[in-house]
Amino acid sequence: MKEFLNIALPKGRLGEKVYAMFESVGYDCPSIRENNRKLIFENETVGVRYFWVKPSDVTIYVERGAADVGVAGKDILLEYTPDVYELLDMKTGNCRMAVAAPVGFRDDPARTLRVATKFSNIARNYYSEQGREIDMIKLNGSIELAPILGLSDVIVDIVETGTTLRENRLEVVETIIPISARLIANKASYQFKNEQIRRLTERIEQKLSEAES
C-alpha cells in the first residue's frame, strides 16, 4: 500500500495559494476544489493527503506528527518556536512584523512602553534585545484598537499593505522582521518519508526559482 504524505494547509487565502503551488508541481488533489465541508482530501494515485487547519495550528499538527509537512507563516514559527525542520521559504504570503503607533507618536524612553500584541514572544524578544522595559498587553484580535483607545502606546503586529493602519491613523514605526510562508516538516517523518519530503521540497524549490528567473 502506498504511504500517504500528510500535508497541513493553513485555511484561507494563503492556503489556497500554497495548494495551487503544490498542484502545479504534481501534488494535485481534485477533490479539494469541490465546494463542500470536508476537512480531509486524498489523492491515492499521487499519495498525498491534505487537510485544512487554522493557520496558527499548522505547527502543532506538524510538530506532533499528525501532518508530515505543512505550510506556516514565519510569524507563527517565531512565536511558538516548534521543534520542526524549516525546509523552504515559499516566497508567498509576504508581509512584515512591525511596531506601529498613532501618527506622530513620540516614544518616551523614561517610561515603560505599553505594547499590545498577539505575538507576545516576538515582542518580548525584540524589546529585550534593545534592553527596553515593556508592559505587555496580550490581545487576541483588533490590535489596532489598543493605541487608539489609550490601552497601549504601540502595537506589534503583522502589516501587509498598511491599509488598516492608515485607516486608523496609525503608522509603522519599526520593522521587526519580514514574514513569508515556510514549508515545515516533522522531524521524525523526515527520517521515514525522507524521499517523499525531499522530492516535494525540490520540486517546489525548482518552481520558485523558475518563477524568479
The residue (of 2 and 37) whose beta carbon lies closer to other proteins is 2
User: Which residue in 191, 210, 212, 213 binds other proteins (CB under 8 A)?
Assistant: 191
| Three cell numbers, residue 211 | 518563477
Say if residues 102 and 147 touch (Cβ distance below 8 Å).
Answer: yes
| Least distance (Å) between residue 86 CB and other proteins | 4
Q: What crossing angle do the helices spanning 194-212 and 13-24 adopt, rounded to 10°?
A: 100
Q: Minimum distance from CB of 66 to other proteins (Å)?
A: 8
Smaller CB distance to other proteins: residue 108 or 129? Answer: 129
CB 97 within 8 A of CB 156: yes
Closest-CA residue to 40 (of 92, 4, 81, 78):
4
Minimum Å gap between C-beta 80 and other proteins is: 9
**Segment near other proteins (CB under 8 A); pick from 18-26, 43-51, 63-71, 129-137:** 63-71
C-alpha distance from residue 116 to each of 101, 105, 122, 125, 188 (Å): 10, 15, 12, 14, 37
Element (H, E) at 50: strand 48-53
Stretch that binds other proteins, among 36-44, 49-57, 64-72, 104-112 (CB under 8 A): 64-72
Question: Nearer to other proteins by C-beta: 64 or 138?
Answer: 64
- Decide: is 132 part of the binding site for other proteins (CB under 8 A): no
197 interacts with other proteins by CB under 8 A: no
Distance, CA of 136 to CA of 114 (rounded, Å): 6
Distance between CA atoms of residues 114 and 175, nearest Å: 17
Window 169 to 188, contacts with other proteins (CB under 8 A): 186-188
97: nearest Cα among 130, 121, 133, 128: 121
135 touches other proteins by CB under 8 A: no
Residues 82-111 within binding reach of other proteins (CB under 8 A): 83-89
In the complex, minimum distance from the CB of residue 135 to other proteins, in angstroms, rounded to a whole number: 21
**Residue ranges that bind other proteins, judged by CB under 8 A:** 63-66, 83-89, 186-189, 191-192, 194, 198
